[in-house]
Amino acid sequence: MADVRSASGPSTINRENVQRRIVISANVAGRDLRGVVNEIQQRIGDNVKLMPGYHIEYGGQFESEEGSEPHLLIASFIALGVICLLLYQEFKDAKLAGIILINLPLALIGGVVAVWLAGGTLSIPAIIGFITLFGVATRNGILLVSRYEQLEHEGEPLDRAILHGSVDRLTPILMTALTAALALIPLALASDDPGNEIQSPMAKVILGGLLSSTLLNMFIIPAVYRMVRANKTKS
């Protein structure tokens, strides 16, 4: 009636979508998640031949990251578009809005350098950090340009208004950047602590962007503003 024998086998049989499923999991340390998964896919493609009816799916954090990238890209463009509209609504001048938007590449410089120093991995938290930089960098430009405009309306000459406005806004800009940096430094330094995998990359990007944006903002924005205003006066 039956052939009874003892053999090894799985303690449980898992199913998903009416199919048997075997889960092989691993943690990634010292490397980026996408790079590890790409290497695994290459090695499996070269060395593993699947029998008919078997297939491999890559899930977990990699699946979440892969699905989040298009949404974050769309969110970045939407955030940039909303910033442009708000700036134009505030100043009613496309050139002034463009001057303020110069802060975005200034902030990206520091963020990219921070990613490179941290290992060159552009993760989802790092992308979120870049989106956060849009608002922080734009705020610094608004502080400067709005003060220049106010002083010019009060009758000060262009050069005097730029010098006076830069001195007036130096302290608020430095205080805001320093306060944010002091709050982010502990998160950036604790990259190896458990549970800090998301906060640390984001903090590093924001720190780098704050540094480059704050330093370059006080030199480039006044120079570009003076150039635009001088050309407008001549025309």
Give how far the C-alpha of residue 235 lies from the chain's centroid of Cα atoms, to the nearest Å: 40
pLDDT digit string (tens) for 92-108? Answer: 888 888 888 888 888 88
Instruction: Report if residue 31 sits inside a domain.
Output: no
Q: Look up the pTM and report it.
A: 0.69
Angle between helices 103-117 and 199-234 (to 10 degrees): 150
| CA–CA distance, 94 with 107 (Å, rounded to integer) | 21
Q: Which two tokens stand for residue 77?
A: 């463009």
Q: How many domains does the chain have?
A: 1
Instruction: Report if residue 80 sits inside a domain.
Output: yes
Q: Indicate which CATH number applies to the domain containing 132.
A: 1.20.1640.10
pLDDT digit string (tens) for 147-178? Answer: 888 888 888 888 888 888 888 888 888 888 88
Q: Which residues contact 43 (CB under 8 A, 6 or more apart)?
A: none
pLDDT digit string (tens) for 177-232? Answer: 888 888 888 887 776 666 666 677 888 888 888 888 888 888 888 888 888 887 76
DSSP 8-state secondary structure symbol assigned to residue 51: P
Contacts 24+ apart (CB under 8 A), 118-124: 118/191, 118/201, 118/204, 119/32, 121/32, 121/35, 121/201, 123/32, 123/33, 123/65, 123/201, 124/65, 124/68, 124/69, 124/72, 124/198
Please name the residue that has the structure tokens 């941290």: 118
Instruction: Report if residue 50 sits inside a domain.
Output: no
Q: Which two tokens stand for residue 152?
A: 């010019």
Instruction: Report pLDDT for 172.
Output: 85
Q: Are 205 and 133 in contact (CB under 8 A)?
A: yes
Residue numbers of the domain that contains 160: 68-234
Instruction: Report pLDDT for 194.
Output: 64
Instruction: Report if residue 51 sits inside a domain.
Output: no
Instruction: Report if residue 145 sits inside a domain.
Output: yes
Q: Which residues contact 73 (CB under 8 A, 6 or more apart)?
A: none
Angle between helices 61-91 and 33-47 (to 10 degrees): 140
